[in-house]
């Protein structure tokens, strides 16, 4: 029997407002502080420092802006090779190119779906002069931070931490966004807390924070007129956007608890299916559970082929694939999404270096055949998917989504 569609769409992850946000937006309006200075910005920076545990936070127009200025702070210059997480959104990587750097991608590991420290060590053997490593925490799950830091320290490399997806997640009790020399978070519309847009650079260096404040306001010098002696950017956060973020911050832990409940309901419901949820180090880390994801066992994958912009699959009893599940979810008005396509598979970066834990510099092919993945990231991309993870989704709505997914493995029902 077909499962009844939802009247209102169940989103992957949409903003959750509480009412405090409009109070601070109105305050900005009524006091006429509608530009890139104001109490909301100051207070949002203070609150994030207090919550995350860093000394300085600079509110910017986007997480991407924060990453760009972090790369600039790290000293990346034209032609410099920079190691980057492979399985991530391209905003992690593009700022390296903004500064003329050349990304080399480090393969993923299965334990956390993040940068593989073994592959990172192999990469330093191939590129011994690299001095900057950009590390992302996928879907709110901390990577193997101690191991990655040990490799970077051994080779004298600076870590730029992309914690855009992991605000509130902890590793050994310490918040992500504090492990790099320069760290970045995002308040994009689908993040764990949001400003509709916006981001921050986090650091313990006053000198770095002061540079970012200057660069983000067109590098205006301290002079009676507009004096500019170096390149600047229009990257400062609006006081209006900061009002939204300010109103969201007190609800971070509540949102994380809701996201975790969704993850655990999926995990329990799928315990008898040939799938696994996106993993994390239960001993050392606590994710923020931003997105619940799953990966289908290799022997439960039906035939699936992807081109650059399209896909096809053949339904098989007892088997399924990510796009079949996503298509079936779409039929009931629920949004899922493929796993991030690894950067080394992207046309824009396909000629860049790519290093696996075996020291291989390239994947053999962009095509995928079940059971013959060329690297970890490629395998997860082809067998994995992001599930509806909106924290406003009720248990009853999630049960309907779970039923659709179970049905994909048994078309005889």
Look up tokens 């390149």; give the residue: 231
Rounded to 5 degrees, what are φ and ψ at 305? -135, 135
Q: Rounded distance, CA 168 to CA 177, Å?
A: 9
Q: What are residue 341's DSSP bridge partners?
A: none
Q: What are residue 118's DSSP bridge partners?
A: none
405 near 325, Cβ under 8 Å?
A: yes
DSSP code of residue 256:
H
DSSP code of residue 347:
G
Q: Rounded distance, CA 308 to CA 357, Å?
A: 26
Q: Is 225 exposed, middle or buried (0-12, 13-18, 19+ CB in 10 A)?
A: exposed
Tally of CB atoms within 10 A around 381: 24
Element (DSSP H or E) covering residue 26? helix 20-30
The one catalytic residue among 144, 191, 211, 259: 191
Q: What are residue 334's DSSP bridge partners?
A: 10
Strands, E assignment, 261-370? 275-277, 285-286, 293-296, 303-306, 311-314, 337-338, 354-355
233 near 216, Cβ under 8 Å?
A: yes
CA contacts within 13 A on the Cβ side of 330 = 8
The yes-or-no answer on residue 191 being catalytic is: yes
Q: Is 193 exposed, middle or buried (0-12, 13-18, 19+ CB in 10 A)?
A: buried
Q: Rounded distance, CA 130 to CA 100, Å?
A: 14
Look up tokens 């799938």; give the residue: 275
Question: Annotated catalytic sites, by residue?
Answer: 191
């Amino acid at each position: 029997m077909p499962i009844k569609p939802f009247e209102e769409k169940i989103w992957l992850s949409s903003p959750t407002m509480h009412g405090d946000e409009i109070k601070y937006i109105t305050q900005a309006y009524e006091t006429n502080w509608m530009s890139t200075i104001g109490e909301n910005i100051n207070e949002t920076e203070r609150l994030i420092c207090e919550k995350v545990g860093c000394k300085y936070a600079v509110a910017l127009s986007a997480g991407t802006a924060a990453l760009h200025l972090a790369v600039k702070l790290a000293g990346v210059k034209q032609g410099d090779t920079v190691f980057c997480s492979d399985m991530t959104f391209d905003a992690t990587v593009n700022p390296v190119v903004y500064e003329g750097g050349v990304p080399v991608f480090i393969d993923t590991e299965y334990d956390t779906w993040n940068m593989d420290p073994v592959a990172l060590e192999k990469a330093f053997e191939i590129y011994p002069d690299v001095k900057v490593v950009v590390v992302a925490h996928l879907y709110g799950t901390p990577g193997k931070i101690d191991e990655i830091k040990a490799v970077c320290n051994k080779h004298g490399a600076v870590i730029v931490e992309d914690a855009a997806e992991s605000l509130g997640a902890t590793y050994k009790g310490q918040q992500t966004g504090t492990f790099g020399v320069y760290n970045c978070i995002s308040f994009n519309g689908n993040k764990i807390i949001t400003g509709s847009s916006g981001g921050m650079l986090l650091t313990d260096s006053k000198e770095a924070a002061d540079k970012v404040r200057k660069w983000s306001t067109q590098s205006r010098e301290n002079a009676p007129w507009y004096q500019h002696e170096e390149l600047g950017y229009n990257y400062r956060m609006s006081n209006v956007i900061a009002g939204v973020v300010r109103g969201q911050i007190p609800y971070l832990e509540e949102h994380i608890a809701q996201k975790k409940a969704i993850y655990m309901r999926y995990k329990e419901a799928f315990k008898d299916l040939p799938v696994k949820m996106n993993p994390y180090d239960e001993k050392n880390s606590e994710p923020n559970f931003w997105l619940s994801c799953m990966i289908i066992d290799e022997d439960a994958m039906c035939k699936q082929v992807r081109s650059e912009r399209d896909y096809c699959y053949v339904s098989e009893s007892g088997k399924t694939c990510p796009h079949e599940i996503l298509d079936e979810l779409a039929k009931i008005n629920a949004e899922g999404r493929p796993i991030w396509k690894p950067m080394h598979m992207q046309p824009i970066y396909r000629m860049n270096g790519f290093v696996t834990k075996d020291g291989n510099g390239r994947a053999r092919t962009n095509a995928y055949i079940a059971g013959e993945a060329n690297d970890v990231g490629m395998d997860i991309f082809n067998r994995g998917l992001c599930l509806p993870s909106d924290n406003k989704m009720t248990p009853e709505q999630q049960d309907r989504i779970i039923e659709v997914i179970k049905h994909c493995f048994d078309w005889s029902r």
